[in-house]
Structure 1
Amino acid sequence: MAGRRVPARSRATIVEDAPVTPDSPTISAPAAILDGLQGRDCPVCGAPERGARPFLSASVDPERIGALSFASRKPPEYMSFRLVRCETCETVFAAEAPGAEALARAYRDAGYDSAEEALYAARTYAQALAPRLGPEHRRGTALEIGAGSGVFLQELLDLGFAEVVGVEPSHEAVAAAPAALRPHLRIGVFEPGAHRPGSLSLVCCFMTLEHVRDPRPLTRAAYDLLEPGGLLAFVTHDYRAPINRLLGRRSPIIDIEHMQLFCPASLRRLLGEAGFGEIDIGAIRNRYPLRYWLRLLPLPGPLKPAGLAAVEALGVGQRSVGLNVGNLLSVARKPL
């Protein structure tokens, strides 16, 4: 079933209540990502799509696809391809999605406007991961897949890693990297052949696993690249978290970028089948400025800009707030 073509007339439906934000510029061919959508089976266990249950109908407006549609930490657009839930492993996935080359182009050309939020996210991930790192990991090489502007690489260097490497497809994100970190960044998609098998002590993939078309090959490649005892760390959304279930289609995790959504069961299946042991999956508490949390809220009409203006006028927009918003940290070890 994988690779089947989808007729053009079934590619998208219009969502009229999703507001166009002023910081969402259109790209030269906004509907190009919709050309040649391909049918998919479950990207975690391979179960046929025909046996999956409906999760959400398609909600894509080609006119609203802009330069920030495939950028990190953008204002929510609440667009998605047709989503189904696998009855075997509980993964939610896009039943029709762009091909790998189309996705690579979309991320290559994506805008970048999340420098402040990236710093907060990097600190959150570093604090959550640090207790799991031993001296044997810190004296090795760490790879981050989907590194953005590379700020988490600095956290790893501060934790004592001997060498860090980040892979990031967005040219704008890499251009925004601090000068000292640019030598550690590689522009492009993750290519396992760029690293020797068994040469890494840590592989990180934060808020990126939902975006890749095929998470199984990525996870298995990470296993091969890790040295015995090495760690793989994912941060993903949990579609089963109470806040995401409450918000439904108005949850920020409903996004055209997301090829799949995970829960603890699907992550455990993905990591276990790749060969990892000592799999630890738990919720993490994110800390961001109040203005960022307000950007994520599904407020109607003029309420959101009014709220943002109010917190800035009060001088509290920069105040950081820690919340559990349904994100998971998964850490797994390659057996010795």
Structure 2
Amino acid sequence: MTSTESGRPARKATARAQRIATLRSSYQSELADGTGRFFEPRRADCPWCGSTSLRVRLRTTDLLQHKPGSFTLNECRGCGHVFQNPRLTTAGLDFYYRDFYDGLGEQRLGAAFGMRTATYRNRARTVVPFAAVPHSWLDVGTGHGHFCETAHAIFPEASFDGLDLTEGVQLAERLGRVTHGFRGSFPELAPELAGRYDVVSMFHYLEHTADPQKELLAARQALRPGGLLLVEVPDPRCRYARLLGRWWLPWLQPQHLNMMPAPNLRQRLTDLGFTVLLEQHDKPHDAGDLLGACWLLLDALAPREDAPWLPGTPPGRVRRAWRDLLLLTGVPVLLLAALLDHLIAPFAHRAGLSNAYRLLARREAPAASRGDGSP
């Protein structure tokens, strides 16, 4: 290793510390009056079916970034829909997303997403029996565009566009991972994209949205008649969700606002004029529930890393060393958890442990009237 290479980690750490110091005053100013303004009033009914029979499913905090605030998930006793209540406001979404996928978090998350090539291939090949040669594909919630880059190798004749709220989609366009990168709200951008695509994909996107049903309407608008909608979301009925409680990584609070059981989503797609062609629970399973839970627990026990939204002074050498030691001590536990995840994966669906499901639906030709005012 050259001296230049050996010095890179130190330079990156210094650059990160400088960025944190620069952001600290603005974050602390935002938090001076607490987190109340980040939440809407609590709702008394289910946003999916309207039932007022609700129960508390989970109470937790931000276990990933450790930004201040507490979050409650309610479950509808009528349809099983799980939703954040009270829900984040626009200001709250901006606060809790900031520096997660971009900014301070861009390098870490970008590297993690870039290593999931096999997962992206698995997702892309779902459409092969139903659309051998798609020519235009829109990936909604595309992030940095890694899925589109991988899928293009499977469908080289297709043009892949990406849409996202974050600046990652603009990075994806600059790097050539997507042909066009659209930044903004899908329902707001859908009219200009109307009838343009053979395939619209939403991988772990719907659960992040304030109104998933509006997103499905936008997808129908962007698709040509006969086009395919490919959706993958976490499964709130996964047994791991109950066994692991707040340590189940797919709860991902405060980002996940809505988590719908498969029958709910299947029925809503049918109501919107789609024909559901495929439902999968085994292939979408991402074997990492035990590993994720162990990591979240270890991270919660360890002293905090420096972050501009945390009060007090940056951690000193003793705190950093104690954190490193605790995480190092936990490595055998993490390795054992990863091994168990790997061993359980082939049987996860049959045991009710699959943590996600995937639906593929075809948009049928529009009827004369659907009664909802949409195309």
TM-score where L is the length of structure 2: 0.65
**SS across alignment from 2:224:** strand
Q: Which moved more, 1:324-333 or 1:212-221?
A: 324-333
Q: 1:230 aligns with which of 209, 227, 230?
A: 227
In the alignment of these two chains, the number of paired residues is 292
Change in Cα spacing, 1:54 to 1:241, as seen in structure 2 (3 Å) is same
The answer to whether 1:240 aligns with 2:262 is no
Match of 1:38 in 2: 41
Match of 2:218 in 1: 221
Q: 1:200 aligns with which of 197, 201, 214?
A: 197
Q: Which amino acid aligns with 1:53?
A: R
Contact 2:229-2:362 within 8 A present in 1 as well: yes
State the distance in 2 between where 1:177 and 1:188 align. Answer: 14
State the distance in 2 between where 1:242 and 1:200 align. Answer: 36
State the distance in 2 between where 1:106 and 1:86 align. Answer: 25
Match of 1:154 in 2: 149
Match of 1:305 in 2: 327
Change in Cα spacing, 1:153 to 1:182, as seen in structure 2 (3 Å) is closer
**SS across alignment from 1:239:** coil
Match of 2:86 in 1: 96
How much has 1:330 moved relative to structure 2? 1.6
Match of 1:179 in 2: 175
How much has 1:217 moved relative to structure 2? 0.6
Contact 1:33-1:102 within 8 A present in 2 as well: no
Q: Of Structure 1 and Structure 2, which has the larger fraction of its residues in strand?
A: 1
Q: Which amino acid aligns with 1:266?
A: N
CA RMSD in angstroms comes to 3.8
Match of 2:55 in 1: 53
Match of 1:18 in 2: none
State the distance in 2 between where 1:321 and 1:332 align. Answer: 30
Match of 2:13 in 1: none
Q: Which amino acid aligns with 2:42?
A: G
Q: Which moved more, 1:174-183 or 1:326-335?
A: 174-183
Match of 1:166 in 2: 162
Q: Of Structure 1 and Structure 2, which has the larger fraction of its residues in helix?
A: 2
Contact 2:96-2:254 within 8 A present in 1 as well: no
The answer to whether 1:87 aligns with 2:89 is no
Contact 2:204-2:232 within 8 A present in 1 as well: yes
For residues 197-249 of structure 1, give each alpha carbon's deviation from its aligned partner in whole angstroms, at most 9, with x where no partner exists: 22211111111111100000100111122112211111111111122221122
Q: Which amino acid aligns with 1:152?
A: F
Match of 2:11 in 1: none
Contact 1:277-1:332 within 8 A present in 2 as well: yes
State the distance in 2 between where 1:99 and 1:130 align. Answer: 37
Change in Cα spacing, 1:91 to 1:44, as seen in structure 2 (3 Å) is same
Alignment map for 1:273-284 (pairs within 5 Å): 273-283=271-281, 284=283
Q: Which has the larger radius of gyration?
A: 2
State the distance in 2 between where 1:278 and 1:57 align. Answer: 34
Q: Which amino acid aligns with 1:212?
A: T
Q: Which runs of 5 or more structure 1 residues have no equivalent in the other structure? A: 1-21, 67-78
How much has 1:258 moved relative to structure 2? 1.0
How much has 1:308 moved relative to structure 2? 6.5
For residues 137-183 of structure 1, give each alpha carbon's deviation from its aligned partner in whole angstroms, at most 9, with x where no partner exists: 63321111111110111123222252111112222575477722265
State the distance in 2 between where 1:33 and 1:274 align. Answer: 36
Contact 1:83-1:92 within 8 A present in 2 as well: yes
Change in Cα spacing, 1:321 to 1:194, as seen in structure 2 (3 Å) is farther
Q: Which runs of 5 or more structure 2 residues have no equivalent in the other structure? A: 1-15, 303-324, 349-353, 366-375
Contact 1:137-1:230 within 8 A present in 2 as well: no
Q: Which amino acid aligns with 2:217?
A: R
How much has 1:133 moved relative to structure 2? 2.8
Change in Cα spacing, 1:203 to 1:80, as seen in structure 2 (3 Å) is farther
Q: 1:123 aligns with which of 118, 121, 142?
A: 118
Q: Which amino acid aligns with 1:42?
A: C
How much has 1:53 moved relative to structure 2? 2.6
Change in Cα spacing, 1:321 to 1:55, as seen in structure 2 (3 Å) is closer
For residues 48-99 of structure 1, give each alpha carbon's deviation from its aligned partner in whole angstroms, at most 9, with x where no partner exists: 4x322332246469x9318xxxxxxxxxxxx863222223321111221123
